[in-house]
Structure 1
């Protein structure tokens, strides 16, 4: 099995030494990783970060981006690769692709969605506003003739929304760990009432996450549901470091502002990549995508792979993505 080989972190420690440092730690792993942040940052990502100010809805906000484009914001590129992460994620979920594109010069843009990673929080997370802000971000950073969009989890749905709205040619949609097109639970009045309650009192959800989930360390749900394959301990620590910084209010806000995909472009090839052990977005519910009339949809299933195929099965997923980008 081949996992992504992370660069030497800013702390200068070898990955083996970092793994040894945290081995056996569970109850205090939260505090320990936060106090050693440089173990989970590297020059590859840091040297390509830029903060962009954007209007999202009625407010101006800061969006953290990672790209290899010129900073004049006037660069013209033939094809841009846009990467959109999922609920609670951040741009580092695409780190294997970022590394590849930096190395071969493929123009790319990844970013932290509002409320996640190092992007600013919002007072509301209406999906229509989020989609508009993604389109504005692309237009702000560069001019492109064609675009390939890679979306993970909720980012897959956002990718379709963006494809419907962008005024450039979309070559393909490559969607990883894709949720179903429709989510009946989010329309349930009781569920929505509960979400609104937690939106105003996110501390309740924070308490649950810290006390009953994050306290399990690398056996917490945010790790177990992303990694099925054994090994890759540093990758799991890297993910855990970011998971514990996810803001509960942002998670809830995206559910409250959720909008189903009502139109799927029939002229854009859609490539689904899914893990057979994905318990977040189960394989069975992909029938909503594969039965789409008029749309060209392919499905590749990676065995022994969980929700984030790019991190859990790097070589297989990278091979498929690069194949579909040709």
Structure 2
């Protein structure tokens, strides 16, 4: 890569990861960080200061869609689309308890690079409405319907998802959903350029099998009394502030002088305390395992007529989905002619917040340039 191109690329990455001027409160990131005291009272403090953790970019691109009777928060830039003949869209799917904001550096990089993106809060998470069931197949249909709704609406019904080139990008549980969605979409013949799977879970999680009686009984009991889980999370975990499991286990980096990192930890914590236990339990009870024989057959058949890139990424400091499991996930794909495994050094589970510059550089150099 020439020095000129590298400089341009680095500038885009820096701009995408910079938080200067982004909080809707109009306070500086440094002032926001210094105004909070970590520990027992942090949850109450961040709850009162929500505008500190609402960014201008997300606010400018978010909206709500009624999909199958559920209000879904979405974030996209398709309203800026001028070319109706052929567009490429990066479609993001977050993980268990996550939300669209966890992709914020990549969404901004898309926008800066003149690319199109769609991200959403899955039902029951972020600011999307709860739904009556969290069956993974129904969630997959909801995602598909949301994408189609956005594309048709922003193009005055003159375009369709099947006319687009799409990159499906999943994080954590979103990797499972992404593969279920790929199987669905591959039957309808859209042009899927890439499957990009970040910090995927184990290739199989036997404890979440429908026939695994002990786990299912425990989840069923919690579904009847979700307040038990809420009480544990509030009193015994979130009371620890930035030392709670949702921060400690999701971030590897701990530089006290990195104000952007500290802000993103507070941002993640502010989102964590809003997660509903009922939704977490619902997704776990309805977990749909991956049939790797079917997935590999689908990948091979799809590659007979399309180019499909598969990229798996994981952090070597991830305690939620350790890198050894990420490697096994990569090796589960038997057709590996256009597959790539990428290890992010000194990175935890929340890849986009823990190592935003690194993940943005990978996308800019290896995804956007292909």
- TM-score normalized with structure 2 length: 0.82
2:219 to 195, 204, 208: 195
SS in 1 for 2:87: strand
SS in 1 for 2:132: coil
Which range moved further: 293-302 or 31-40? 293-302
1:19 to 8, 18, 33: 33
What's the counterpart of residue 264 of structure 2? 235
Point out the structure with max Rg over C-alpha.
Answer: 2
For the pair 1:289 / 2:330, whether they are aligned, the reply is: yes
For the pair 1:162 / 2:181, whether they are aligned, the reply is: yes
What's the counterpart of residue 93 of structure 2? 84
Report the Cα distance in structure 2 between the residues aligned to 1:193 and 1:152, rounded to whole angstroms. 27
Please tell me the root mean square deviation across aligned C-alpha atoms, in Å.
1.9
Q: Quick check: 1:196–1:256 contact (8 Å CA) kept in 2? A: yes
What's the counterpart of residue 244 of structure 1? 273
Gaps of 5+ in 2: 1-13, 152-159, 256-260
Q: Structure 1 residue 239: deviation in Å?
A: 0.6
Report the Cα distance in structure 1 between the residues aligned to 2:126 and 2:144, rounded to whole angstroms. 19
Q: Structure 1 residue 324: deviation in Å?
A: 2.5
Q: Structure 1 residue 145: deviation in Å?
A: 2.2
Q: 1:214 to 1:75 in 2, by over 3 A?
A: farther
Report the Cα distance in structure 2 between the residues aligned to 1:112 and 1:105, rounded to whole angstroms. 23
Report the Cα distance in structure 2 between the residues aligned to 1:309 and 1:43, rounded to whole angstroms. 21
Q: Quick check: 1:157–1:181 contact (8 Å CA) kept in 2? A: no
Q: Deviations over 1:46-102 (max 9, x none)?
A: 0111111111xxxx1111000001299x96652111000000000000000111122
Q: Deviations over 1:161-183 (max 9, x none)?
A: 11111231110111111112211
What's the counterpart of residue 128 of structure 1? 137
Report the Cα distance in structure 1 between the residues aligned to 2:54 and 2:123, rounded to whole angstroms. 20
SS in 2 for 1:148: strand
- TM-score normalized with structure 1 length: 0.93
Report the Cα distance in structure 1 between the residues aligned to 2:332 and 2:136, rounded to whole angstroms. 25
Report the Cα distance in structure 1 between the residues aligned to 2:348 and 2:144, rounded to whole angstroms. 30
Report the Cα distance in structure 2 between the residues aligned to 1:11 and 1:104, rounded to whole angstroms. 27
Gaps of 5+ in 1: none
What's the counterpart of residue 8 of structure 1? 22
1:115 to 117, 124, 129: 124
For the pair 1:182 / 2:204, whether they are aligned, the reply is: yes
Q: 1:141 to 1:75 in 2, by over 3 A?
A: farther
For the pair 1:278 / 2:300, whether they are aligned, the reply is: no
Q: Deviations over 1:84-124 (max 9, x none)?
A: 00000000000001111222321110000000011110122
Report the Cα distance in structure 1 between the residues aligned to 2:40 and 2:202, rounded to whole angstroms. 35
2:353 to 299, 302, 311: 311
Q: Structure 1 residue 241: deviation in Å?
A: 0.5
Q: Quick check: 2:23–2:53 contact (8 Å CA) kept in 1? A: yes
Q: Quick check: 2:93–2:170 contact (8 Å CA) kept in 1? A: yes
Structure that is richer in strand per residue: 1
Q: Deviations over 1:253-305 (max 9, x none)?
A: 00011101223223332101100111111222231431421244321111211
Equivalent residue pairs, number: 319
Q: Structure 1 residue 319: deviation in Å?
A: 1.7
